[in-house]
Chains A and B, each alone.
Chain A
């Protein structure tokens, strides 16, 4: 089944403890992206990647890192999480990224205390 898989689905952590949210897609998509969803703010893009080893900042990149060493994986790294990063996170992928629309993962609900 074609899908984007995120792990974990739920995560509670403490301020300052490094964490990684994994994202993997099995559709050979070039384009991958991370979003955060907050009430009243919709989806805001954190980082995106046009292909392997090519990443760029989205609208809200502060406090996040990404890497794209393989085409299928695009992990999101929070080096020192803070409570304002408590949010619902989505990974998405697309073929070429311009006109095909996204396939989204099921989301990761992160709580930083």
Chain B
């Protein structure tokens, strides 16, 4: 079975500071990995995804994520946070075989941005 853990419930950063949100997954092979963002009152929007190849993936809004197989991690980063980045962020893992097309979402990390 697949699972995903987002260890941080809340993260607070100052505007302009760098950001890293943690995501750890459990799966028997290399899964598909995703990061989504949910702004207040909105649905989730796909930020970026990883399937294979280059372990550093670029997404929208200046975000990037790095897949580290040895650590079973897929952390999200941004070099300089803007106030509009305040939102809930979800990591998701999806199996790649056996018909396991059901993605599993983490419980989310709430990002608070101080001016």
Contact = CB atoms under 8 A, between A and B. Distances in A.
B43 A42 contact: no
B105 A107 contact: no
Q: Select the residue from A41, A42, A90, A92 with max chain B CB neighbours within 10 A.
A: A42
Contacts of A4: 43
Interface residues of A, number: 25
B90 interface: yes
Contact of A42 (B32, B49, B90): B90
Interface in A53-72: 58-59
B101 A40 contact: no
Contact of B105 (A40, A43, A105, A106): A43
A73 B105 CA distance: 24
B102 interface: yes
A34 interface: no
A39 B107 CA distance: 9
Contacts, number: 53
B45 A104 contact: yes
Contact of B44 (A48, A58, A59, A104): A104
Interface string B26-54: 00000010101000011111100101000
A31 B36 CA distance: 18
Nearest to A59: B102
Contact of B49 (A35, A40, A99): A99
Contact of B107 (A42, A58, A90, A107): A42
6 contacts: A31-B101, A42-B106, A102-B103, A103-B46, A104-B44, A107-B41
